[in-house]
Amino acid sequence: MSERVVPLIMCGGAGTRLWPASREGRPKQFLPLFGPRSTFQDTLKRVSDPELFERPIVVTNAAYRFMVLEQLAEIGLEAAILLEPARRDSGPAIAAGAAFARMRDSEAVVLALAADHVVRDTEAFVAACRQGLAAANGGRIVTFGVRPQRPATEYGYINPGAAIAGEVREVTTFVEKPDPQTAAGYLDAGYLWNSGNFMFRAAVLLEEYRNVDPDSVAAVTAAVSGAGRDLGFIILDPEAFSKARAISIDYAVMEKTTHAAVVPVDCGWSDVGSWHAVWELSEKDGQGNAAQGIAVFEDSRNCNVATDKALVALEGVDDLVVVATQDAVLVSRQKDANGLKRLVTKLKRLAPQVTDEHLRVHRPWGAYQSIDRGERHQVKRITVKAGDRLSLQKHHHRSEHWIVVRGTARVTVDDLVKIVHENESIYIPIGAVHRLENPGKIPLELIEVQTGSYLGDDDIVRIEDDYRRN
């Protein structure tokens, strides 16, 4: 019987429902939506008590691996990081985490959590985990059912059945997202919101999954046993993992197993699945308006504003969402999450750049932001973390001019190695082999001016790279 739980944090989703703040290149789980920490970091902190929780496992997309590592370091925690070679939804991802946990401990109990949910009452959540542990040790696959605060149509529901022990109940049925009238009936009947978070013995979950889809479980377990390691990451075998069927854990296991149980919980939970959900969780003024960033409201009610830098002023409008980033502005109705989904689908076709990347692009060594771009020039602001460096590289079509505005740079240009201080600059000719390093103790900031016939990021020939990118 396990006395502690292995947190399994699912962190590979794209999170476009909070566009334009959340994008493919930096989705919502990595954004500080409600304070200084991201929801991913808050999730990790929530399961960091060593008396109850083991060292966590994080399953993420390979594109997010360095963001995961950076955000772990910011809060002083460590984790085993499993990289999915392809997205296969939550079923194969959770199965991979379970198989990895079982390799370390045949009796492991796993707590599978989404990285982008909000929990306001950690104490209540942990208490529910303690109740779930007893049921999971007994062979149950436990889900956490949130006592509903309203007849929500954006969540699935659980109909709890007979008591098992304490607050733990059998699951009679899982039901899909209802219409408003049906949702109201579910509240009266004592149904619970399905939070999409689960606790189970790894061996039990895999056996139940195997009963309905043995080929996918075989593929996932082969991907785990054949995983490689690189820079501390665990890379699931691509060929094996690609054979697993893409499916959610709800459809793959939870709706079919006879071992399902539910722990009812009041913990201030939300999946933050829309800007309306962000508004519900935010502090508001006397007219129901919420703002992240600088906003002014006049004769406006129940509006939600999120802005990076620009001041947003609203007059004479109600029930609007306004989200302003440096390269995109969203104006939307508060309660039409499906409308935003349709809009993002259209944008992916018409303007994919605004759904894929922010102007500020994060890299393992730091970040860069495009400031200006013309036909034959581009200006970027580059930040390099202390002690980090870019790849040794060259370009076939552009030259670069670097001006240091903060910190100290060590620059390699062919056979020259030079220290460049604040207010100094250096020129990188076309074709020169070069590297930028930060040897100092503070972030290095510089302005990069590119000129040439082609300025795309694919005009980078990496000769050496600390992060083993192509």
Written as one letter, the residue type at 77 is L
Name the E strands within 202-250.
228-230, 233-235
**Would you give the DSSP letter of residue 178?**
P
> How confident is the model over 262-291, as pLDDT tens digits?
999 999 999 998 999 999 999 999 999 999
**How many Cα atoms within 13 Å fall on the side-chain side of residue 80?**
22
Cα–Cα distance, 236 to 222 (Å, whole number): 9
How far, in Å, CA of 187 to CA of 193, rounded?
A: 10
pLDDT band, very low/low/confident/very high, at 378 (cuts 50, 70, 90): very high
Q: Reply yes or no on whether the pLDDT at 1 is more than 80.
A: no
Second CATH level (architecture) for the domain 360-464: Sandwich (2.60)
pTM score, two decimals?
0.89
The burial of 450, by beta-carbon neighbours within 10 Å (0-12 exposed, 13-18 middle, 19 or more buried), is given as: buried
Per residue in 285-321, pLDDT (tens digit) is 999 999 999 999 999 999 999 998 899 999 999 999 9
Q: Do 272 and 16 form a contact (C-beta atoms < 8 A)?
A: no
Using CA atoms, how far apart are residues 451 and 466, in angstroms rounded to an integer? 27
Binned at pLDDT 50, 70 and 90, residue 358 comes out as confident
| 5 CA to centre of own chain | 22
Tell me the backbone φ, ψ of residue 296, rounded to 5 degrees.
-125, 130
Residue 45: how many other CB atoms lie within 10 Å: 14
pLDDT tens by residue, 9-64? 999 887 778 999 999 888 999 999 888 999 999 999 999 999 999 999 999 998 89
Strands 57-61, 5-10: parallel, antiparallel or unpaired by DSSP?
parallel
> Backbone dihedral region of 241: left (phi > 0), alpha (psi from -120 to 50 degrees) or beta?
alpha
Domains 5-270 and 360-464 share a fold: no
Write down the CATH number for the domain with range 5-270.
Answer: 3.90.550.10
Decide if 135 contacts 160 (C-beta within 8 A): no
Kindly list the domain boundaries of the chain, sorted by start residue. 5-270, 275-354, 360-464
Q: Rounded to an integer, what distance in angstroms lies between the CA atom of residue 45 and that of residue 33?
A: 16
Amino acid letter for position 216:
S
Q: What pLDDT sits at residue 341?
A: 85
Among 149, 233, 229, which residue's Cα sits nearest to residue 183?
A: 149
Mean pLDDT of the chain: 94
pLDDT at position 340 = 87
Residues 6+ away with beta carbon under 8 Å from 246: 87, 88, 89, 91, 92
Under DSSP, is residue 192 helix (H, G, I), strand (E, B) or coil?
strand
Band (117; pLDDT cuts 50, 70, 90):
very high
DSSP symbols for 82-143: EEESS---HHHHHHHHHHHHHHH-TT-EEEEEETT-EES-HHHHHHHHHHHHHHHHTT-EEE
Per-residue model confidence (pLDDT) at position 62: 87
Q: What integer pLDDT is reported at residue 388 of this predicted model?
A: 96
The string of pLDDT tens digits covering residues 160-213 is 999 998 899 999 999 989 999 999 999 999 999 999 999 999 999 999 999 999
pLDDT tens across 217-268, in order? 999 999 999 999 988 899 999 999 999 999 999 999 999 999 999 999 999 9
395-415 mean pLDDT = 97
String of DSSP letters for 298-312: ES-BS-EEEESSS-E
DSSP state of 34: S
Q: How far apart are CA 244 and CA 232, in angstroms?
A: 25
